[in-house]
Every structure is written in C-alpha cells, then in structure tokens.
Structure 1
C-alpha cells in the first residue's frame, strides 16, 4: 500500500520488498517490473527532451504507429540569427565559441518555451521555432510568437552580462544583436525523414518567408520584422509600424511587412507619434507625393534621429526624384542590389 501511495505522489524510485512467494509476492514483483518500465520511459523522455520538445517526445511515445503523422495547418514561424556572428566567432577559441553559443541558445530558447513554442532547429547561431495546434490554441499562435520575439531583448541583456566571463575579456567585447523574422501560413508538420532517421519539423512557404524577413532586417536596420498575416492575427496584442511591401517566397503579390515594436499599449507617446508620422510618410511615398513624404520622414528623424528605415526612405526619395517610376507604380522597391 505504501508503495502505490508513493507512486501516486510521483515517487518512481520506490521498490516494494518481496517477502513471500505467494500471490502477494507475485503481485509485488509485477509491481516492481511495471515501475521499471515506467522509469525507463521517463529516462527516455528526459534524454530525448534535450534534443526534441518534450511535448513531441510525449506524443511519439504514445503513438501506436509512425505512419500518417503529418498534417497541414496554419502556424507562425520564428527565425532568428545573431548579426555579425562570423566576426564574433573569430575572436574566440573553439571552446569559448561553443560555450557562448550554448549560453545564447539556452537564453533564446527560454521565451519560446515559456510562450509554448516548439523549437524546430538550431542552425549554428540561428534558432527556428513555430507555434501551432495542438501545442497552442489555434487563435494564439501569432500572438505568442510575437511575445517570444519581444522577450529576446531581455535575454540578450543577460547574455551581455555573462560575456566577460565567457570570453575572458573586460574590454573590447563585441556588440551582440539578434535579428528576427516572423511569418504565418499553411505548412506541413510532422515526422519527416528516411526510414532510419526522422525528426519532427515544419515545411512550407512560411518557413522560407520567416528566414527572408530575418535577413531583411539588415537592410532596414530593424530587429524584428513580421508579415502582414502575422500582424493581423496578433494586432490586439502588439504595437507595430508598417515598413514596406515586398515580394517574398514565390508570391506574385507583394506582402505587407511590419516592424514589431512593443506589447500593446506600451509604446511611449513620442514613439507612437514617430510611428504614425512614418506611416503617413509611407502613404505619401507610395502616391509619389515626394515633397509631403520627405516632410513626414524628416519629422520622424526629429523624433528619433537614428531611425534607419526613415533614413532609407529619404535616400529612396532622392533617387526616385531623379529616376521617376511609372504612373502605375505599386510602391514596391525592387532595387536591393
């Protein structure tokens, strides 16, 4: 009785003493064998939980068959990368580099896990994750992905405080910045691979677009970019500003791209004004009203002097005044060379 009560309370290390060879002894032995199997399953979950999301491990353990485990669904994909990582890696010994990467990936993973996301892959210093059913509510995946992205800045601050010890330096520490892309769309989820080796992953255009948006941050001088579908689904939970319209993936129509700024209601009044003036300037820009667009963008710089997208649009206006687009121009800039 004490053994069963201990197991009920979560103690799997209990062992029932076998003191007879009658039915009670046989029952005690069977109980111990059952506990051995439970402990073995828990060890498997603990071990593979370091490589695969524990919820996926749980699902795989309880599956009776490995066939037909894929499905199509709408998810939000997160892709992040450390800016200028190759330069940072050249400063470190192999051991120091591995330690820094492990520290960063541990910190970057925490907000994803806390917001019920699934880590898809670690690709060097890059992190790929996704949110979708059954791991989160069907209506929450975009919002939770945005939360995880916003919380990365706090994790970076923790990493910066750890770096002197990690790198053995007090001065000359590299500046660590992370770029993030978020995209929402229909993907295939499930166990993908050969007969001998499979892994749980997502495949689809949203994965490609999230990675593209991560890279586009470099051009715009932003930190977090998300596609319009993601913004629409999470609109009540976040503050954004429209940045551009871009051809992403293999879509024939341009996609609205937004910068993720903060949680809803947490944008300072001055930054809210800056965001609103920027979007007015963007509308005038698309209508080829160069003077009005320039005036609004210059007002943005008075509110936030180091704003890279504003500086970028002022350069574009200067170019387009000298090289006017067609009257039916859709406002999409394609000269990224």
Structure 2
C-alpha cells in the first residue's frame, strides 16, 4: 500500500482487506501485522473517546495486580495482538481472577474436562444466577414414588412375560427413563434422580431372573422326586418343558399297558437262598427297568418279580404302541445276555437260573392314569379294562409256550413295523368278549431265520383250523411243530397246543356259526 492516502477509518479497513486478498504470501504477512496494529489503534481511539465523552479520562490508571507493577495485557506481543487492559473495560461487569496456565495448582478434573480451571466454577455459578437458569431437584418423595411404581411393575408385570419379552421391556424402560432424565436436565433444568430408579430396575430384574431360575429348578426337582423313580429323565424334562402336569385323582387317555414277570419264579425261591434270590432279582429288575425307561416307558410298580408299566402318560408320547413293542423285544435280547453271563459264572447259579425266561403282555386302549391311593400315601398308576387284559395276556402266554403276547389294538397301529405270529381269537379269564392276540417276534426285517419257515407253516395250519378242516389242520400243525424251537425251559409251543384243540372240535363240532374264539379256563 505504497503512497496510500488516508481518507477514513472505515475506508482503511476495507482497503486492508482488498490488499491482503490480492497480495502474495510475503506481502500478506506484512499487511496482516499492519492490520493488527491498526485494530489496536482503532480500539484505543474508541476507549479514549468513550472516556472523554464520560469525563473519565483523569480517573483512569494503569491496570495491574499488586505487588507486580506490570500492566495487564490481553494477547501476545510476539504475535502482534497484545492489548493493554484498562479499568474502563470492566465497568458494569463482574470480574473473576484465577489461574488457568498449565502447571498451576488450580486445575482439577470435571466430568467433561480432566483439567478444568476452578475459577470457571464460580463464573458458571454467577452466570446461572444472572440468567435465572437454576437447577430444580425433584424431591425425594417423588423419586421414592417412582421406585415403588417400578417395583410394582417388576413384581407383577415382568414375571408374566417370557424371558425375552421381560428383558426387552426392562431395556426399554431403562432407555426411556434415562432419556427422560437427560431431557429434563438439559431442556427444563430439572434434576430427576437417574441412578435410584435405574438401579431398582436393573437389580430388580436380575433378582426376578435369579428367583425364576431357582423356582424352575425347584419345580424340576419336584418332578424328579415325584416321578424320577418310574419315569426316564428325558420324559421328566419333556414334561417340564411342555408344562403338562398329571391331574391328581386320575385322567383318562389312550395308552399302552405293559406287564412282565419271570416264568416259574416260585421255583427260583426253592433253589436259591434269600440273599442270592435278592441279588439275582435286583440284577434282573435293574436291567429290565433300564430298558423300560430308555424306551419312554413309565414304571408303575414292582410286584415281586413282576414289572408293571405303561406308555403315553404322564405326558403324551407318539407311537407308544411301537415303543412298548420295542421294549419287549429288547428285554428278551437283554435277558439272553444275562443268561450267558450267569452261565459263565459256573456253579454260582443253579441250572434254573441259566435258563430263566420272562413273559410279557401288552395291550392298548382307554385307561385311567393318575395318583391313586389315600390322602397320606398314593401311587401314580393305571386302572381300567385295558390294564386287566394286558395282565391276562402276560399270564396266558405260558399256555401257548410264547414269551411276548400282544393284543390287536397294539398290533394294528404298528403292523408294518413288526413281525408277528397270528396266534388266536380268545376269551381270557374274566372277560366275555374275545380278543385277537398275536405273538410278537421282532421288528420288521430282524426276525430269526427259523421263523421265516415257522410262520408260513403255522399260518397255513391256522387257516385250516379256522375253516374247520380239522384233520388237515392237525397234520399241518404237526408239521409246523417239527419246526418249533423247543429250547430248555420251554414246555410247549403254539403249534402243539392247537393239535388237541383240533381233535376236540373234530369230535365236538362248534357249528357253522362258530366265531373262531377259544375260551381259556385258567390264567
């Protein structure tokens, strides 16, 4: 700005801006320093003008803090922006003096600044008073009321929700309440306690969760104590997860009854000491019960050597007829393993133990299951005509020389999954209606090779019997009898029992209206 002609302060300020805008870098630095000095001159002129206009020029003194005689300066001289501070600048203002330089002892941590000048606290307090932006704290009574309301919600509302819903609800309440507290503080200058209610929600929900967990474990333990001795652990877990509880006093349903006992067990008592008998029976019952429980059966009771059980209660089981049949087949397989074990122990057991057999009766139909007995002592058991027939089938199996006898109601739902011998159409003791019964051989495709020959021969003879071709039936049954496996302990077989029956009907014709039923005269 060579040979510049001064006209006015405002024009000079504008000329400085234009010159700096069009200058190179070196000229810009020089011009900016000149512009800063011009600003100081303008400021000092305005101060002096104000002092003169108010007749205060003679009252001004240099501003400094005793005992230092150095005048107070704003800015830095090396940067060219140093400004002397005069008392006139503080007229009508509030002044706080404090230490703010790094290394001084008046800097302390604050929530939003780790090294905040403490003089600022006083300035902020004064600013709050002057702006009338006072913080109003919500009374403790209101906070207690909020906590009580939250407690009621936690006690009665949250437990009725699922864990996921309860957690989401508590999370929503915490976020909403936190937002409310911050909004009231920043916008309305109201201080609502955040931590009391928030901790109440968090700790309360945690307590409810722990309580529910403990309660669930107690409920599950109760089920295990109530049913653990006769229901598999898997069924107990399924019962608990489904929320189904057996109704006290009994509940009618469509289930499968299962009976089994040892053949000629009274003879064992004569051959064994009481100690050996108990040891043998415990080993046998343990193995058979494990099979029962592993295949979703419910143990009803032990009656001496007999096992009474059922399928489909206390909770519903799909294909309970098949599970009962599988149990019977596996029991026979496991008993064979036990016989081999006892035989390997030599003279430890008499020969009758080496050839132990058990019989099984299975029937499916309507029955009542539930806790029955007295008020002081009860048992979870089954009752009904279906149960009675299952017991009769187990007992009558010995008359046919077979070891698993099932009713038609059990056979029909699983006929494609098991191999059977069509046994008889019989009236058992205590019943007037005849029942179709079968010998269960194995699951489909797993029958022994011997039965692949026996079953066609027997069924051919049975067809002759039902057509009242007595002489041909006798010859056919004799032929199938030759194929039967008469292992030790087996006194008869189905082919053999039909021969005298055919001879009886040959001499005493049942007539053309014969329904094919045979009435048993003993259990």
**TM-score bracket for the superposition, by shorter chain length:** 0.7 to 0.9
Q: Secondary structure at the match of 2:446?
A: coil
| 1:333 equivalenced with 2:515 (yes/no) | no
8 A Cα contact 1:100 1:166, kept in partner: no
Quick check: 1:189–1:201 contact (8 Å CA) kept in 2?
Answer: yes
- CA distance in 2 between counterparts of 1:154 and 1:26 reads 56
**Rounded Cα–Cα distance in structure 2 between residues aligned with 1:213 and 1:83:** 14
Q: Name the SS for the 1:90 alignment partner.
A: helix
Larger Rg: 2
1: CA distance between counterparts of 2:346 and 2:266?
15
Is residue 274 from structure 1 mapped to residue 274 from structure 2 by the alignment?
no
What does residue range 222-301 of structure 1 map to in structure 2 within 5 Å? 222-248=402-428, 251-268=431-448, 270-301=450-481
Deviation readout 1:78-134 (Å, 9 max, x if unpaired): 100101111112222322222222111111112211211111111111011111156
* TM-score normalised by L of structure 1: 0.79
Change (3 A) 1:100 1:60: farther
Which whole-Å deviations, capped at 9, do the CAs of 1:241-299 have from their partners, x for residues lacking one? Answer: 11111124765431111000111122256523421221221121122111221232233
Find the counterpart in structure 2 of residue 309 from structure 1: 494
Q: Is the Cα contact below 8 Å between 1:92 and 1:167 reproduced in 2?
A: no
SS in 2 for 1:107: helix
Structure 2, unaligned stretches of length 5 or more?
A: 1-198, 487-491
On the 8 A contact 2:401/2:493 being kept in 1, the answer is yes
Q: State the Cα distance separating 1:190 from its structure 2 match.
A: 1.4
Q: Distance in 2 between matches of 1:64 and 1:227?
A: 29
Native 8 Å contact 2:239 2:315 kept in 1: no
The match for 2:391 is 211
> Residues 132 and 90 from structure 1, CA distance in 2 versus in 1: closer, same or farther, beyond 3 angstroms?
same
Cα gap change, 1:93 to 1:111, in 2 (>3 Å): same
2:307 is aligned, of 127, 150, 158, to 127
> Residues 44 and 71 of structure 1: is their aligned pair in 2 closer, same or farther, counting only changes over 3 Å?
closer
Question: Take 2:345 and 2:448, find their aligned partners in 1: how far apart are those partners?
Answer: 35
> How many correspondences in the alignment?
315
Q: Tell me the residue number matched to 1:195.
A: 375
The equivalences for 1:108-147 within 5 A come to 108-132=288-312, 135-138=315-318, 140-147=319-326
Name the structure 1 match of 2:336.
157
Query: CA offset at residue 199 of structure 1?
Result: 1.9
In the superposition, relative to structure 1, how do residues 77 and 173 fare at CA in structure 2: closer, same or farther (>3 Å)?
same
Task: Please report how far the alpha carbon of residue 198 of structure 1 lies from its aligned counterpart in structure 2 after TM superposition.
Answer: 2.0
Residues 426 and 520 in structure 2, CA contact (< 8 A), matched pair in contact too: no
TM-score (norm 2): 0.53
Q: Distance in 2 between matches of 1:210 and 1:297?
A: 27
- CA shift for structure 1 position 30: 9.6
Comparing 194-203 and 253-262, the one that deviates more: 194-203
- How do 1:4-83 and structure 2 match up within 5 A? 48=226, 51-53=229-231, 54=233, 55=235, 70-83=250-263
For the residues of structure 2 that align with 1:99 and 1:39, how far apart are their CA atoms?
Answer: 35
Structure 2 vs 1, CA of residues 100 and 48 (structure 1 numbering), >3 Å: closer, same or farther?
farther
SS in 2 for 1:137: coil
RMSD of aligned alpha carbons: 3.5
Q: C-alpha separation between the residues in 1 aligned to 2:362 and 2:400? A: 15
Contact in 2 for aligned 1:183/1:209 (Cα 8 Å): yes
The structure where helix makes up a greater share of residues is: 2
1:101 pairs with one of 281, 284, 287: 281
2:505 corresponds to which residue? 320
Q: Which runs of 5+ in 1 are unaligned?
A: 1-21
Which structure ranks higher in relative contact order (CA pairs < 8 Å, sequence separation ≥ 6)?
Answer: 1
